[in-house]
Structure 1
Amino acid sequence: MSHQYYRLPGGLVRALDGDTPFPAPEQALSTPNGLLAIGGDLSAERLLQAYKLGIFPWFSPGEPILWWSPNPRMVLFPAELKVSRSLAKRLRREDYEIRFDSAFEQVMLACASTAREGQDGTWITQDIMQGYLALHRMGYAHSAETWMDGQLVGGLYGVKLGNMFYGESMFHHVSDASKLALVHWVRHLEAQGCGMIDCQMNTSHLASLGAREISRLEFSQRLHELVHYPS
């Protein structure tokens, strides 16, 4: 089968069209972010194909759909979650409520609309919203939410396949609200037998919570074992 490619400064990138399969993740460009393919769609079927291979979409409005496989990969092993003394103290307060999957669309909208340092606009487009809402209806995409006085003040969303969770985005409107949701969610995942949480890119915030980088090869090997557990 012949495939079409885009020629970019770092090499060739597969063009996706219709049912064109994803290339193997190791064929991504040899840059840290690892651009792998361009095009395709954001249907639930295409997204699930991507996540089973450890590939995710990330692009700005006006750009074609871009698919990535970073090397190295930032991950959090649930047992390695770090909770600082101040965060542990905050967790013990009883002025908040944690819910799972009670406001998935609200969480996505909040992630899209929350301003972030160093970012102009959002990558969570309407097409992205529709794709992940479809995954949520199918039972694959989930949200963890922090509520205070009946208001959603922080949370995160992502995709769970088998014993693997892929974190996508998080937000907070109150200090530490996203961390509260994250800690409860990680503990929930660990209790369910989840073996690894994909954090995609390295940030100091994630590192402070215990996330670390592993190679694409190690990520793919672990992923292959984890995604085939029954959800």
Structure 2
Amino acid sequence: MDHRAILGLYAQGLFPMDDDGFEELPWWVADPRTVLPLDPESRAKLRRRVRRSIAVRDDWELRVSTAFDTVVEHCGRPRGAGDGVWLTPRMHALYRVLHAAGHAHTFEIWVGGDTLAAGLIAVTLGRAAMLESMWHRVPHAGNVLVSRTVDALAAAGATLCDIQTSTPHTLRLGAVEITRAEYERRLQAALQG
């Protein structure tokens, strides 16, 4: 699939999630849709919520797309015994296409200068960022990664941070569920801004 076609689907508010049972890559809609607010007050609240995680170490370092394939490969592994995998090889190929076109990135937390502690995949389009998947292998690194990523996105001018669906953990971090119609309104504003 061409990167313009993929981005066109994202621009319609769709997101991919694969399974070996599908002949073609399926694209989904969520209602409600979940976002991480990027305004200064919400980001400050998130930093306060994860302050214990941030304080665990003083060498958390955020890097962008320095280990793209490694992060995508880790995101594509089952989380536990019997868990399925939605980030299949064809999803990895899709992210590689978007990465080559400058629209897929990995945000990474490194510790000790050479240890990749956590990573997430983000697709960017206009002033919108869609956070697709995340993994961590160092305790607390995931919380630090989310906080540092939303700060970096806001600093880069993003106005929408989409995480598709919520979990109890993302809601504790400050994620907000909005209607599909409200999401589409915010997405169009981010694409035009």
- How far, CA to CA, are the matches of 2:143 and 2:124 in structure 1? 19
CA drift of 1:86 comes to: 6.5
Task: Normalising by structure 2, report the TM-score.
Answer: 0.89
1:140-179 superposed Cα distances (whole Å, 9 cap, x missing partner)? 1111111123121211111011111101000010112122
For 1:164, which of 94, 107, 128 is the aligned residue? 128
Q: What secondary structure sits across from 2:35 in the alignment?
A: strand
CA drift of 1:95 comes to: 3.0
For 2:38, which of 78, 89, 99 is the aligned residue? 78
Match of 2:53 in 1: 90
For 1:136, which of 89, 92, 99 is the aligned residue? 99
Q: What secondary structure sits across from 1:98 in the alignment?
A: strand
Where do 1:59-208 residues align within 5 Å? 59-64=18-23, 65-79=25-39, 80-81=42-43, 82-83=45-46, 85=48, 87-92=50-55, 93-116=57-80, 120-149=83-112, 150-208=114-172
Q: What secondary structure sits across from 2:50 in the alignment?
A: helix
Gaps (5+ residues) in structure 1? Answer: 1-41
| Residues 1:108 and 1:54: Cα distance change in structure 2 (over 3 Å) | same
CA drift of 1:129 comes to: 0.5
Identity score, percent: 34
Structure 2 contact 15–27 (Cα < 8 Å) conserved: yes
CA RMSD in angstroms, aligned pairs only:
1.9
Q: What secondary structure sits across from 2:76 in the alignment?
A: helix
Please identify the structure whose Cα radius of gyration is greater: 1
1:55-76 superposed Cα distances (whole Å, 9 cap, x missing partner)? 0111211323221111111111
Match of 2:11 in 1: 52
Structure 2 contact 47–147 (Cα < 8 Å) conserved: no
Amino acid at match of 2:32: P
Amino acid at match of 2:50: L
1:104-144 superposed Cα distances (whole Å, 9 cap, x missing partner)? 11111111125158x62311111110111111111111111
Task: Normalising by structure 1, report the TM-score.
Answer: 0.75
CA drift of 1:185 comes to: 1.1
- How far, CA to CA, are the matches of 1:133 and 1:152 in structure 2? 20
Amino acid at match of 2:136: H
- How far, CA to CA, are the matches of 2:80 and 2:129 in structure 1? 23
| Residues 1:207 and 1:56: Cα distance change in structure 2 (over 3 Å) | same
- How far, CA to CA, are the matches of 2:106 and 2:37 in structure 1? 19
When you count helix as a share of all residues, which structure comes out higher?
Answer: 2
Amino acid at match of 1:225: A
Greater RCO structure (CA 8 Å; 6+ sep): 2
